[in-house]
Amino acid sequence: MEKYGGSPTEEQVKEIVWDTLNSGKVIPGYGHAVLRITDPRFEAFLNFGSMHFPDDPIFKTVRIIFEVVPGELKKVEKIKNPYPNVDAASGSMLYHYGLKEFSYYTVVFAVSRSLGLTAQAVVNRAMLSPIIRPKSVTTHFVKDLVSKG
């Protein structure tokens, strides 16, 4: 944003993508070891930002990048998963709400992960069941399961 005096245009983002890739680097926040679609958490953040602060310059940049980067990455034969993960949007939210110390972003991520794991451990121990990593399922799957039961 500093280089372009604000949110970059789509053409400028394309230039940044190719300059980054041609230098042997990756596009941060894009691609995921497991997900083969846009990370649902990214979509949730994108929807939240669109609703609550659509004119925030950093959020606008996140949206422009999302509109451009997957299409550009699809042009690279070896890239099979060009979609954003949660990290492609989470920083803009933290920044918007005043957390501007970037070194704390990983801490916030770790704390949220720890809270989820802790909640699961408490419930599992209360039910005398083992800790597991549940299979990821869609809302449609859950609705079908409930309607059949």
Residues making up the chain, counted from first to last: 149
Tokens 């310059």 belong to residue: 57
What pairs with residue 30 in β-bridges?
A: 84
Give 84's DSSP letter.
B
Predicted local confidence at residue 31, as pLDDT: 82
Q: Which domains does the chain have, with CATH numbers?
A: 1-100 (1.10.230.10), 102-149 (no CATH)
Tell me the pLDDT tens digit for each residue of 58-111: 999 999 999 999 999 999 988 888 999 988 999 999 999 999 999 999 899 899
Residue 35 has pLDDT above 80, yes or no: no
% residues pLDDT > 90 (the chain): 56
DSSP 103-145: GGHHHHHHHHHHHHHHHHHHHHHHTT-----PPP--HHHHHHH
